[in-house]
Structure 1
């Protein structure tokens, strides 16, 4: 069942197209990764989905409802965490969490208390004393305490330490197991790789790749590390081989999937001493696209 869908989503500010024909689709019980550098259009897409911005063209639906016209009904079933959290400075963290829970008409004291403990937050402190990481914890706990059907998370672990990131990742897997849907915008590629069923890469307002991680990795081929008894001077000319690097006594390179068999046969003729292969990481895929476009990928935050 489709929970969230955009078709040809376009948002213009004057002559500037912040979004240009964005198509994404999130199914029930799915974690969907949405990645791209600063200015790529991630947060603009999320604001359209939340009914904060009105699309110039195209469609955006959540639970089959129009994201702009039926935003109030949609919000009853959605929990949202922004990447940059501002809180009321004179309220305590616990008071802010309780306020957000009450605004949703819920009573989730047990879940609230459990999450406060898991995220190691002192709820008695005033928000003005909190670090960025603790402000992020307040927003996460307030959202995750609610029994939403869709969680829209825009850079949710920004400012968190590695231990808290792991706690967050554990919660995502629990929510997925419970049939919840999650749209996860993140610049932490290892996090996306670990959690997401599908991924969309956005650049300058356009989706440049999307699909399952397996499908995307297939596009980049296999990473091979090989050490041979004899040198392979003609390796660069072998069909399907690219990105050759010297790594000590071994050579590392990428091989297109359809040429892997022929490349291994060629390499074996030089006497294999060591051979390792692995699928490319999401980071390698991401960097490949941005280098190919002549744009350096800035993987720090994303709007």
Structure 2
């Protein structure tokens, strides 16, 4: 069953097309990574899904309901965390969390306390005294304290330190194990790689690739570091080899995954002493899509 389904989703602001035929299909119990450079259309898509913006063309459905027309009904079952959280300055963090939890009709006090401890949050302080990271913690505790069916997370770890990022990742995996669905927009590619079942890459308002990480990895390159008994020659002449670097009698380079067999056969003629292979990462994939483009900047609002 599709929890989120957009079909030819298009949003124009005057003559500017922010979203151009975006198709997303998030299944039940799935974590979907939504990535792209600054200005690609990630946050615009999320605002349409939340019923904040109305699509110019196409449709966006959540739980089979129209994201714009049925927004009130949909919001009863979703939790949303933005990348820049604004809180009521005179309320304490604990009061803000309680307010959000009560709005959902959920009173799981034990889960609230557990999350406050996990995120190392002082809930007695006024919100105006919180750092950006602590404001994010309040939003994350409120979201994961609620028994939502869908979590929409737009750069949710912005401002968190690496330890708290790990806590966040644990919360996402707990939600997934409980059969919940997650849409995660993030520029922290290692985070997406750890958490997501499928990934959609958006550029200039269009989804340019979508699929599981394994399906997308064929598009990228494997990193090899090799040391041979005899000088390794003619490597630069072989198809699918890039970015050759010679250092300390070792050669490191990138190779198109589909050419890996040919490369290894060639290299083996020179007597392999050392061979290290690093699997292609989502970052490799991401940078390959945007290399030699003007918009290589990653992250932030879009």
TM-score range normalised by the length of the shorter chain: over 0.9
CA distance in 1, matches of 2:243, 2:219: 15
SS in 2 for 1:239: coil
Q: Indicate the SS of the match to 1:4.
A: strand
More displaced, 266-275 or 103-112?
103-112
Per the alignment, residue 25 of structure 2 pairs with 25
Distance 2:209 2:49 in 1: 20
In the other structure, the counterpart of 1:236 is 236
- Tell me, what secondary structure is at the counterpart of 1:117? helix
> Residue 202 in 1 paired to residue 196 in 2?
no
TM-score normalized by structure 1? 0.96
Secondary structure at the residue paired with 1:193?
A: helix
- Identify the residue that residue 122 of structure 1 maps to in structure 2: 122
After superposition, give the CA deviation of every residue in 1:77-136 in whole Å (9 maximum; x if it has no partner).
Answer: 111001111111111111111111111222121111111111111111100100001111
Equivalent residues in 2 for 1:137-286 (5 A)? 137-286=137-286
SS in 2 for 1:120: coil
2:197 and 2:213 in contact (8 A); partners too: yes
Query: Does the 8 Å contact 1:6/1:22 carry over to 2?
Result: yes
In 2, the alpha carbon distance for the partners of 1:69 and 1:2 equals 18
1-structure distance, mates of 2:225, 2:59: 46
Q: How far, CA to CA, are the matches of 1:85 and 1:52 in structure 2? A: 16
Q: Is the Cα–Cα contact under 8 Å of residues 93 and 124 in structure 2 kept in the other structure?
A: yes
Q: Following TM superposition, by how much is the alpha carbon of 1:296 offset from its aligned partner in structure 2, in angstroms?
A: 4.3
Indicate how the Cα distance of structure 1 residues 83 and 108 shifts in structure 2: closer, same or farther if over 3 A, else same. same
Q: Which runs of 4+ in 1 moved over 4 A?
A: none
Alpha-carbon separation, structure 2, partners of 1:182 and 1:216: 20
2:291 counterpart SS class? helix
Greater shift after overlay, 246-255 or 26-35? 246-255
Give the distance between the partners of 1:145 and 1:243, measured in 2 at CA: 47
Residue pair 1:40, 1:302 contacting (<8 A) in 2 also: no
Mapped partners of 2:189, 2:151: distance in 1: 19
What is the count of residue pairs matched by the alignment?
A: 302
Aligned CA-pair RMSD:
1.3
Q: Report Cα offsets for 1:201-237 as digits up to 9, x if no partner.
A: 1111111221111111111132222111222331111
Distance 2:43 2:79 in 1: 15
Q: Which residue in the other structure is 1:299 paired with?
A: 298
User: 1:73-152 maps to which residues of 2 (within 5 A)?
Assistant: 73-152=73-152
Contact 2:229 2:270 in 1 (8 A): yes
Q: Which runs of 5+ in 1 are unaligned?
A: none
Give the secondary-structure state (helix, strand or coil) at the position aligned to 2:301: coil
Distance 1:248 1:205, change over 3 A: farther
Structure 2 stretches lacking a partner, 5+ long:
none
**Contact 1:228 1:273 survives alignment (8 Å):** yes
Deviation string 1:134-190 (CA, Å, 9 cap, x unpaired) is: 111111111111001100000111111111111111111111111110000111111
2:84 & 2:257 partners in 1: Cα distance?
41
Distance 2:118 2:262 in 1: 51
CA contact (8 A) 1:36 1:302 kept: no
TM-score of the two chains, using structure 2 as the length reference: 0.96
- Please state if 1:72 is matched with 2:62: no
